Amino acid sequence: MGGDGMPADPQDVADAIARAATDQSTPFRTLVGADAVMIDELKTSMSFEDFESTIRAALDWHD
């Protein structure tokens, strides 16, 4: 996984799901893809309110 923020290959996601379903040692929350890692890092680096407003602005999503 690079720092490019690209989504995971669908096969990687399928493999992670299969692993989670069959291997009890797999963590409940498993990040797959550089995009998931990037969003998780962003989320943990700021308050919930700041994260929410940042994501809403990035997606141009308003209530």
Q: Is 3 inside a domain boundary?
A: no
Angstrom distances, CA of residue 45 to CA of 35, 39, 50, 59, 61: 15, 10, 10, 19, 21
Q: Is residue 34 part of a domain?
A: yes
Task: For residue 1, name the pLDDT band (cuts at 50, 70, 90).
Answer: very low
- Is the pLDDT confidence value at 5 over 90? no
Q: Residue 4: is its pLDDT beyond 80?
A: no
What pLDDT score was predicted for residue 55?
92
pLDDT in tens, 6-55: 889 999 999 999 999 999 999 988 999 999 999 999 999 999 999 999 99
Note down the domain range covering 17. 10-59
In a domain, 41, yes or no: yes
Query: Is 18 a member of any domain?
Result: yes
Instruction: Give the pTM.
Output: 0.70
Domain count, the chain: 1
Residue 46 resides in a domain: yes
Name residues whose C-beta falls within 8 Å of residue 43's C-beta, 6 or more positions apart in sequence.
51
Q: Is 25 contained in some domain? A: yes
DSSP state of 63: -
Within a domain: 5: no
Q: At what angle do helices 34-44 and 48-59 cross, to 10 degrees?
A: 140
